[in-house]
């Protein structure tokens, strides 16, 4: 089980506030600690009132894109359909990041309550919680918690005596990195080949089996439950005006690793300080990988960048899988970019030519630069090819797969030029 990092006592914990429970599947203990109070409040409101509260909170999806949760719920609720679904995405596409699995293992009731609230808000009678098949302990605890919640009437045939039916299923899924993309996940749940769909229409309009579907990261759903219990105004006091609340971050540095619940707007320096990466004596990290395999490689002089959706995009990174990795002081950033580009290329589903071929060509450029056999035009090729891939991308995977190389171009150009020097000298002869 992944370690939870110790955070300052002043940091609120809407997501992991009950994570210290001896037995996370003990329903009585969870209820005493506040579980399902948000659901009780939600069912006393008409569904539009629930969506209005989520909108007032400014909750944005924690799956990486930061889309407004209330907009998604409203669209699903108002799209005419004979049936609606909720899909909780706990797959955790990045194999090296365990934020979602950590939440499920340590407080499965937070996820279940969030699912029930979302289903009530949009009028869904069926929900699926997707979890990576290899996360056997998370699956075991979630299934045990679902059984207890159904016996208690929080889900099932008559949710809290409202007459609302909600059947919730845990679905172990296994596949490529692409399963983190919502349309790919929906196809996998239908038993189809996992490839992205053109949007619009969005899943909230036409998703699972062609019906309106809310696909939400498990952290987002846990936060929705907290908001319904504690109120939108209190949630707004955490984080920043544009990015309220907290988020789980998997942090790695030379001093250790673990998962922490962090208020949005906290600087990368402060977050890395939780594992001693910016507080120990010795040289600072050379680079920061922010966002997982398709993240940006940022220089150490951006340590004071706030960890928010918009600030990271401006810097050339993104929330992504919710990970921050501090490299060693002597790291070769071009080799790191090559490794990440190879991963993104290998994990591409192959549906579109820009992604299937473009990312492979980008990897080949990185390979020959690091092998000492660059071409004089390689720097230009990186820029032009990356721009073409992004401009014609069907999903976020291909739009973001270029970030490792383009961020190195942006921030570590002297190192790139040094590796390109043999080609430049040969061209000058």
Share of residues in the chain with pLDDT > 70 (%): 97
Share of residues in the chain with pLDDT > 90 (%): 81
Place of tokens 């600690």: 33
CA distance 373 to 43: 65
pLDDT digits (tens, 9 = 90+) for 128-142: 999 999 999 999 999
> The pTM is what?
0.95
DSSP characters over 298-331: EEGGGTT-B-SHHHHHHHT---TTTEEEEPPTT-
Question: Do 53 and 188 fall into the same domain?
Answer: yes
> Mean pLDDT, to the nearest integer, of 295-308?
96
Q: Flag whether pLDDT at 281 surpasses 60.
A: no
Question: Do 216 and 293 fall into the same domain?
Answer: no
Residue 15 lies in a domain: no
Give the end of a domain, one of 215, 236, 257.
Answer: 236
Residue 21 lies in a domain: no
Question: Do 204 and 348 fall into the same domain?
Answer: no
Q: Flag whether pLDDT at 427 surpasses 70.
A: no
Question: Do 284 and 311 fall into the same domain?
Answer: yes
**Number of structural domains, the chain?**
3
Confidence class for position 63, pLDDT limits 50, 70, 90: confident
Question: Do 162 and 311 fall into the same domain?
Answer: no
Question: Do 72 and 125 fall into the same domain?
Answer: yes
Residue 292 lies in a domain: yes
Q: What is the pLDDT at residue 245?
A: 98
Residue 297 lies in a domain: yes
Confidence class for position 392, pLDDT limits 50, 70, 90: confident
Closest alpha carbon to 305 in 274, 268, 263 = 268
Domain span including residue 281: 246-326
Give the end of a domain, one of 275, 310, 326.
Answer: 326
> Mean pLDDT, to the nearest integer, of 109-127?
98
Residue 241 lies in a domain: no
Confidence class for position 65, pLDDT limits 50, 70, 90: confident
Question: Do 276 and 137 fall into the same domain?
Answer: no
> Mean pLDDT, to the nearest integer, of 381-401?
88
> Mean pLDDT, to the nearest integer, of 18-31?
95
Give the end of a domain, one of 192, 215, 236.
Answer: 236
Q: In CATH, what number is assigned to the domain containing residue 343?
A: 1.20.1440.230
Which has the minimum average pLDDT: 54-68, 244-258, 278-292, 321-335? 278-292
Question: Do 384 and 315 fall into the same domain?
Answer: no
Q: Are 224 and 59 in contact (CB under 8 A)?
A: yes
Task: Write down the mean pLDDT value for the chain.
Answer: 93
Residue 12 lies in a domain: no
Question: Do 52 and 178 fall into the same domain?
Answer: yes
Quickly count: other Cβ atoms within 10 Å of residue 404's Cβ: 29
pLDDT digits (tens, 9 = 90+) for 198-252: 788 999 999 999 999 999 999 999 999 999 999 999 999 999 999 999 999 999 9
pLDDT digits (tens, 9 = 90+) for 140-189: 999 999 999 999 999 999 999 999 999 999 999 987 788 888 999 999 99
Residue 13 lies in a domain: no
Quickly count: other Cβ atoms within 10 Å of residue 328's Cβ: 12
Q: In CATH, what number is assigned to the domain containing residue 160?
A: 3.40.50.11540
Q: What is the pLDDT at residue 56?
A: 98
Residue 124 lies in a domain: yes
Question: Do 293 and 337 fall into the same domain?
Answer: no
Question: Do 253 and 322 fall into the same domain?
Answer: yes
Question: Do 159 and 301 fall into the same domain?
Answer: no
Helix ranges (DSSP H) in 173-308: 182-189, 218-230, 232-236, 268-273
């Amino acid at each position: 089980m992944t370690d939870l990092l110790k955070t300052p006592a002043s940091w609120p914990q809407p997501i992991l506030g009950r994570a210290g429970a001896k037995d996370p599947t003990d329903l009585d203990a969870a209820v005493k600690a506040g579980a399902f109070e948000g659901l009780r409040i939600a069912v006393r409101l008409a569904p539009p009132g629930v969506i209005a509260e989520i909108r007032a909170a400014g909750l944005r999806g924690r799956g990486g894109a930061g889309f407004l949760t209330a907009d998604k719920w409203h669209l699903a609720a108002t799209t005419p359909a004979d049936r609606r679904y909720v899909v909780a995405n706990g797959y955790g596409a990045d194999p090296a990041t365990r934020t979602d699995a950590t939440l499920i293992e340590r407080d499965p009731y937070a996820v279940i309550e969030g699912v029930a609230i979302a289903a009530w808000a949009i009028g869904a009678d069926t929900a699926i919680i997707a979890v990576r098949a290899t996360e056997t302990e998370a699956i075991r605890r979630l299934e045990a918690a679902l059984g207890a919640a159904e016996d208690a009437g929080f889900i099932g045939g008559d949710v809290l005596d409202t007459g609302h039916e909600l059947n919730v299923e845990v679905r172990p899924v296994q596949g490529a990195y692409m399963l983190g993309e919502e349309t790919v996940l929906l196809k996998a749940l239908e038993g189809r080949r996992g490839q992205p769909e053109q949007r619009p229409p969005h899943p909230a309009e036409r998703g699972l089996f062609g019906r309106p579907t809310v696909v939400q990261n498990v952290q987002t759903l846990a936060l929705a439950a907290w908001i319904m219990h504690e109120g939108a105004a209190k949630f707004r006091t955490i984080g920043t005006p544009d990015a309220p609340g907290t988020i789980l971050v998997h942090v790695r540095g030379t001093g250790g690793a673990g998962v922490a619940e962090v208020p949005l707007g906290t600087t990368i320096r402060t977050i890395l300080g939780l594992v001693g990466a910016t507080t120990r004596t010795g040289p600072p990290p050379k680079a920061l990988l922010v966002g997982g395999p398709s993240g940006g490689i940022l220089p150490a002089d951006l340590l004071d960048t706030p960890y928010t959706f918009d600030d990271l995009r401006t810097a050339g990174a993104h929330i992504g899988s919710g990970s921050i990795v501090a490299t060693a002081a002597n790291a070769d950033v071009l080799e790191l970019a090559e490794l990440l580009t190879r991963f993104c290329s290998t994990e591409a589903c192959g549906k579109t030519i820009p992604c299937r071929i473009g990312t492979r060509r980008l990897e080949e450029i990185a390979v020959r630069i690091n092998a000492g056999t660059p071409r004089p035009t390689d720097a230009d090729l990186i820029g032009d090819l990356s721009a073409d891939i992004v401009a014609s991308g069907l999903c976020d995977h291909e739009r973001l797969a270029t970030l490792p190389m383009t961020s190195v171009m942006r921030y570590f150009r002297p190192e790139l030029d040094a590796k390109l020097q043999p080609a430049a000298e040969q061209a000058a002869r």
